[in-house]
Amino acid sequence: MALDRSDSLNSLGFPKPPSETRVVVAMSGGVDSSVVAAELAREGYDVVGVTLQLYDHGAALAKKGACCAGIDIHDARRVAETMGFPHYVLDYENIFRDAVIDEFADSYLAGATPVPCIRCNERVKFKDLLETAKDLDADCMATGHYIQRKMGTHGPELHRAADHARDQSYFLFSTTPEQLEFLRFPLGHLASKDETRALAARHGLSVADKPDSQDICFVPDGNYAGVIEKLRPGAAEPGQIVHADGRVLGEHRGVIHYTIGQRRGLGIGGLDEPLYVVKLDVDQRRVVVGPKEMLATRRVPVREVNWLGDAPFASALEWHVAVKIRSTKPPMDAILRPISPTEAEVELLTPEEGVSPGQACVFYEPGGSRVYGGGWIWRGA
């Protein structure tokens, strides 16, 4: 599981033996981070496992499909016991609520479609946990993310995982150069998830066949609107479903139940044309629907840009890049035009449907694997 290796460096890129290299492994209790910890322990590193308790432990015990729930803390502890390294559980519940959950709720109420997993990496794992790792005198922190860290002429670079089907670069675009110096991603070069599970089985880990988590950890049943209503009572106020031409077509149960591009579940059957959600008017409590062609977008404004290119972001009038505007889509050709060091307009060379405020727009090297950062889509284009 080599990383940054040369004749004089160990597999994590340090000029000393593994036994003298302390690495904190962020352990979610899943198979990926468990394999990272086990492999590094096997190689002789001074491994310290850390698991974050991100929400109420008692309530979490019943949520087996979500990461960082009670069962996952138990699984992470068992892996540490099996491999013989120390393991700590840190209570990050208040930090997680302040940095991730509250913004998630407020974004939905504002008509956006947030990606809380990115904020968790940015504000919790790669900020507070990373600082905790430094406080533990670690040389680096390793995670089970499927992404690659490669050394370039200007320092460490972020690259897509070798297995593009598992690639998690969309969720890690906001990783800063300073964080990248300290982070390691030992699974990024693997060809498939089957390799990861085979490694887990080889170490005799109980999580070898554990299913992947599919949902946001604090929304394990996928019912986003239900969580919002609990966090913000009274948020689901009813209103009108309106056609883009002004016709009132029906009533809705609350804007928080809808997302841009949605077609199913609108409750306005019997019409001749298929209709999609094209706009969420929060102020008027209106869900605006229209034909599919109204979803096509070519210009995407982004802010909070995190740039990982070699030259300063605003040093060029435009950058020719590939971009992903949702995690499940392959990168598409685009022109990135900086407005300021943290704002830009992205021009998609092929119009895309369903671009939604609150989602991430991640920048890539055209035809290559390097990640150049990204930004947040912040208004309807």
By annotation, the residues acting in catalysis are 120, 217
Short-list 137, 187, 184, 188, CA closest to 13: 184
Sheet holding 239-243, edge to edge: 248-252, 239-243, 286-290, 276-281
Q: How far apart are CA 149 and CA 35, in angstroms?
A: 18
Short-list 66, 31, 57, CA closest to 215: 66
Q: How far apart are CA 310 and CA 151, in angstroms?
A: 12
Q: How far apart are CA 337 and CA 345, in angstroms?
A: 5
Q: Tokens in use for 112?
A: 């956006």
- Is-contact 88 49, C-beta < 8 A? yes
DSSP conformation class of 346: E
Q: How far apart are CA 268 and CA 334, in angstroms?
A: 36
